[in-house]
Amino acid sequence: MKAIDIATANHVTEEDIITICKDLGISCAGMDVHEKKVDVCIAHGPFDKPPKFEIRTFSTMTSDLEELMTWLNKYEVTTIGMESTGVYWKPIFNVMEGQFEIVLANAQRLKAIPRKKTDIMDCKRIANLLRYGLLPNSFIPPKEIRELRDLNRTRRKLVGMMTSEKNRLVKVLESANIKLSSVVTKIYGVSSLALIRSLLEKDKLSREEISKMAKGKLKKKVDLLEKAVNGKLTDHHRFLLEMHLQNIDHLAKQIKKLDEEIEKKMVPFQKESNLIQTIPGISEVNASAILAEIGVDMSQFPDEAHLSSWAGVCPGNNESAGKKKSGKTQKGNSFLKAALTEAAWAASKTKNTSYNAFYHNLVRRKGKKKTLVALAHRMLIDIYFVLKTGEPYQDMGAEAVHERTSKRKERSMIRSLEKAGYSVTRTATA
């Protein structure tokens, strides 16, 4: 090993430092990532002494990131750490994935660690935490799951946009005194859309025309439909209606394309998708959205409690001096929470299941929103074990839930009576 005292030598070159790093074999890097630049700090040296730091700033252009990689390789850096803030970490991650071990720090947990705030201090702090294994890591799914995640998140956004467009369309109809939404259950059904498109061309629709466009159960409501669709439609209303209909059609085509691409990406994960679809309330679309967020490898999470906490569906404990405060769920993965809540709502309506019984036992005390979150939490735990064991879900049934709830109430009442000074003796019932 080349003997150089870095602390005292004045003629130490970068090559000398690199040689020392290679001999020691201890070198890692912390990055503070921004939109246009990335501050990088390499920490190296023996663990029994304060580390030496090499700090540089690079642009986030691809050519500059390649230069950054060359600089890191000179110091034989094997592990880099950075904060998972916004989307700025993604291009760097995509360029360096496979070349280095990347630790993506949980931004919220990192924020809780006391620090002095400057760009240079941030990258230095990340390097120090990484060096001693103290950097709070985030879950990073493999590339295939990340691509599936992007598709599903885009789909959810487009579905939300379509819902907004449909709501705007309803408002225009109401403004024109067209009461279609008061008659039909689905204003975006085949019959309803046909009636709306016809109104773009005519001031008034005849009974015969309405009868031809009415399908299914609406055939019995022709008289009511005639009253509902003949309002005060102006050219201004027609302009807005046409615009909203075009937007809805365009979004529908885009969503269809996404569905086709998602179907292709789901082929390697079809087994896992089929497994979690054995859980009541989880559809094919829902299964794809859930797997896109949590992946298929449950070894990424130490246990089901960690997964629930990461998802943001696990209520916390907040008690001090004998007083219980709010135990509301913490901020988690919003996309996963949305998918789980949708599944929970569907499961709550699935008759003769444990989920249905659980929902109805709890909703009277907690209300719909809290009960749905609690049910989503329970479903996520079941998803975890189904994926971990590779075994289909086996529902215990509604009766088992009712029986368990009854026993829990019994135990609670006995404890209350005993606390009040009564002696309670159980007797067998016929």
Which residue is listed with tokens 């009766």? 399
- Rounded to an integer, the average pLDDT of 282-311 is 90
Residues 337 and 309 in one domain: yes
Residues 412 and 276 in one domain: yes
Residue 381 resides in a domain: yes
Q: If you write DSSP's letter for every residue of 271-330 in order, what string do you get?
A: HHHHHHTTSTT--HHHHHHHHHHH-S-GGGSSSHHHHHHHHT-SPPP-EETTEE---PPP
- Buried b / exposed e over 234-270, threshold 16 CB at 10 Å, is eeebbebbeebbebbeebeeebeebeeebeebbeebe
Q: What is the pLDDT of residue 130?
A: 85
Residue 426 resides in a domain: no
Q: Tens digits of per-residue pLDDT, 140-178?
A: 888 899 999 999 999 999 999 999 999 999 899 889 888
- Rounded to an integer, the average pLDDT of 103-121 is 68
Tokens of 400: 């088992």
Residues counted in the chain? 430
**What's the pLDDT band for 132 if we cut at 50, 70, 90?**
confident
Task: Compute, in degrees rounded to 10, the torsion defined by CA atoms 145, 146, 151, 152.
Answer: 70
Task: Give the closest residue to 152 by CA, choosing from 273, 329, 247, 307.
Answer: 273
Residues 90 and 150 in one domain: no
Residues 127 and 42 in one domain: yes
Q: If you write DSSP's letter for every residue of 386-423 in order, what string do you get?
A: HHHH--------HHHHHHHHHHHHHHHHHHHHHHTT--
Q: Tens digits of per-residue pLDDT, 392-408?
A: 999 887 777 777 777 77
| Boundary residue ending a domain (74, 101, 131) | 131
Q: Tens digits of per-residue pLDDT, 330-359?
A: 677 889 999 999 999 999 998 888 899 888
What letter represents residue 24's amino acid? L
Angle between helices 334-348 and 304-311 (to 10 degrees): 110
**What's the pLDDT band for 4 if we cut at 50, 70, 90?**
very low
Q: What is the CATH number of the domain that holds 208?
A: 1.10.287
Q: Is the pLDDT of residue 116 over 50?
A: yes
3-state secondary structure labels for all residues of 44-106: ECCCCCCCEEEEEEEECCHHHHHHHHHHHHHCCCCEEEEECCCCCHHHHHHHHECCEEEEEEC
Question: What residue numbers bound the domain in which 246 lies?
Answer: 144-267
